Each structure stands twice: as structure tokens, then as C-alpha cells.
Amino acid sequence: MRDVRVQDLRLHRLLTLAAASGTVIVADLATKAYAANTFVGRTVEIIPVVLSFTYAENTGASFSFFQGAGTFLSIAAFVALAVIVASVWQPRPLAEVVGLGLIAGGATGNLVDRLTRGEGTFDGAVIDWIQFPNFPVFNLADTCITFGVITILVAAWRSR
């Protein structure tokens, strides 16, 4: 009886992870497609002096670090995804699973760009489109990765 309950909880965690990451992937790819069709060559001020939408391509990581390191970043994303899936196999709070789902979805959204937008296998540029003053352009995937980390940290802090 206990084994059935453990399996049910694992399935619940995996489905929660899949739902969170799947939602992020769909939203990220849709917003990147919109940005590519709408903002190329122009910037749209949403809130003057605070928020603009523009189009940028990034071959590096967040904040444009590691430019041209697509292969390394792609392999790191695959490793992170494997670690995330393995980690939800073990019992953990729902908030952590959702946080991991946000991270997995963001990593996958950017990985899709790297795999589909370049000449080679891992050299595609990631589409970024959200701009705040004095801050690098970023995308929804980056935002979800950040909020996923924050969610996990808050969940860990609250469980102390």
C-alpha cells in the first residue's frame, strides 16, 4: 500500500513539473515569436522611461555573459534538466516542484532557440525582447528561471 502512495506522489510531482514547465515553454516561445514579428528594428515604449519592448539576439547567457558559448550553455541546460527531473523523484514541497518547473521551462525555452535558430546544432541566438533602463534585454524564459530560483529559496527558507 505504501509503494502505491509513493508512486502516486511521484507521479503528482512529475505532472506538476510538466505542467509548470510546459506552460513556461509555450508562453516563452509564443512571446519570442511575437517579438520577432513585431519589434525587429524598432523599440516600443510600454511605460515611458521604465519599460520597453525591443528585439535582440543573444548568443550568450543571461546579461550577455559567455557570448558564443552556445554548445557549453546547451549542454549545461540538458544537464540541468536531467538534474531537475531526477530531483522531483524524491519527496519535496509543492512550491519547490513549481520552482523547478519554472526553471526547467525557462531553460527549455532558451534551449529551443539555441537548437533551432543557428547554422549549427547549438549556436542559435536566443531572442530577448524585454528592456528596462540600464539593464540587459531579457525574455520570459529568463524571468521564469529567476522566479523559479526565488520560489525555491523562499520555500527552503520557510521550511527551516
CB atoms within 10 A of CB 138: 21
Residue 65 and residue 75: Cα distance in Å, rounded?
A: 16
What's the distance, CA 6 to chain centroid? 29
What is d(CA 23, CA 26) in angstroms, rounded to the nearest whole number? Answer: 5
List the one residue out of 79, 83, 160, 77 whose CA is nearest residue 124.
77
Task: Out of 3, 113, 123, 128, pick the active-site residue.
Answer: 128
Q: Is the pLDDT of residue 64 over 80?
A: no
Whole-number pLDDT of residue 27? 98
What total number of domains does the chain contain? 1
- 128 noted as active-site residue: yes
Please give the residue range of the domain that contains residue 80.
2-158
Cα torsion at 128, 143, 88, 110 (round to 10°)?
0
- Asked whether the predicted pLDDT for residue 1 surpasses 60, the reply is no
Give the residue, 57 or 67, on which the prediction is more confident.
Answer: 57
| Dihedral angle sign, alpha carbons of residues 85, 142, 116, 39 | positive
Q: How confident is the model at residue 7 (pLDDT cuts 50, 70, 90)?
A: confident
Tens digit of pLDDT for each residue in 75-113? Answer: 999 999 999 999 999 999 999 999 999 999 999 999 999
- Maximal C-alpha separation, the chain: 61
Task: Quickly tell me which residue has 547554422 as its cell.
Answer: 119
Q: Measuring CA to CA, how many Å separate 135 from each of 93, 101, 129?
A: 33, 25, 12
